[in-house]
Amino acid sequence: MKNLFTKFKYSIQADLHDLFDKKVEKNPIKMLNHYIREAEKQTEHTGKLLARQAQLKKELELQLSQTAEMLEKREKQLHLAQATEEVELITFAQEEVAAYTTRKHTLLTSIDAANVEYFALERKFETMKHKIKDMKVRQLQLMGKENVVRANHQMDKVLTSNNNENFDELSTYIDELSQNIERKYEVTSFESRLAQLEKEQKLIEQPK
């Protein structure tokens, strides 16, 4: 029964991966945009965690500073108590020195670990930012390719055999229209010249 369930689970996962791959193949730019948005969200969240880690480091360092001050103070008080030979004061001061010494070592260990963790987080954060920039470059490349494909598709539609015939017809029409305009211009020009000749002839024929 367990094996059957496992096979069923892997079958569903395979179907989902296949569906996902088909979506990517169908619209890679859309999927890439989705990846970029998700990566930016994750990077923003990581940046907040990094800032939080830096704040925790500062708090640990503050605790260490305060602990070191108190340890130094209790050590001086222990020396004074030992000088007075008061047992209760000596015992109290010794316990305080031991407590602050333990806390100091704990804080030093914690700060070392926090520094290592912060450095690791910072490196990952920078890597994530680089990955996003790389994806955005890839996005621009895909958009350029998609634009070229669409432009070629549109031009191929225009340059089909039927459209070539339409272009030929349109070209013939334009040629005919141009010829008609030229003929009309010639006729108009001839008429103008003939009218000028008529005027000149009338001037000659007029009695002096």
Give the pLDDT of residue 170: 66
Residue 24, both tokens: 């990517």
CATH number for the domain including 54? 1.10.287
Residue 78, both tokens: 């222990």
Residues 151 and 164 grouped into a single domain: no
Residues 24 and 107 grouped into a single domain: yes
Q: Which of the two residues, 73 and 176, has the higher pLDDT score?
A: 73
Q: Is the pLDDT of residue 85 over 90?
A: no
Separation between Cα atoms, residue 74 and residue 107, nearest integer Å: 18
Residues 135 and 43 grouped into a single domain: yes
Average pLDDT over the chain reads: 78
The predicted model gives 78-91 an average pLDDT of: 88
Residues 190 and 110 grouped into a single domain: no
Give the pLDDT of residue 55: 93
Give the pLDDT of residue 8: 46
Q: What percentage of the chain carries pLDDT values higher than 90?
A: 25
- Confidence band for 37, pLDDT divided at 50, 70 and 90: confident
Q: What is the pLDDT of residues 104-128, one digit of tens each?
A: 999 999 999 999 999 988 888 888 8
Give the pLDDT of residue 161: 52
Q: Which of the two residues, 28 and 22, has the higher pLDDT score?
A: 28
Residues 181 and 154 grouped into a single domain: no
Separation between Cα atoms, residue 24 and residue 18, nearest integer Å: 10
Give the pLDDT of residue 178: 67
Structural domain for 92, as ranges: 2-159
Residues 128 and 183 grouped into a single domain: no
Enter the DSSP assignment of 137: H
| Number of domains comprising the chain | 2
> If we measure between CA atoms, which residue out of 122, 113, 116 comes closest to residue 47?
122
Residues 112 and 141 grouped into a single domain: yes
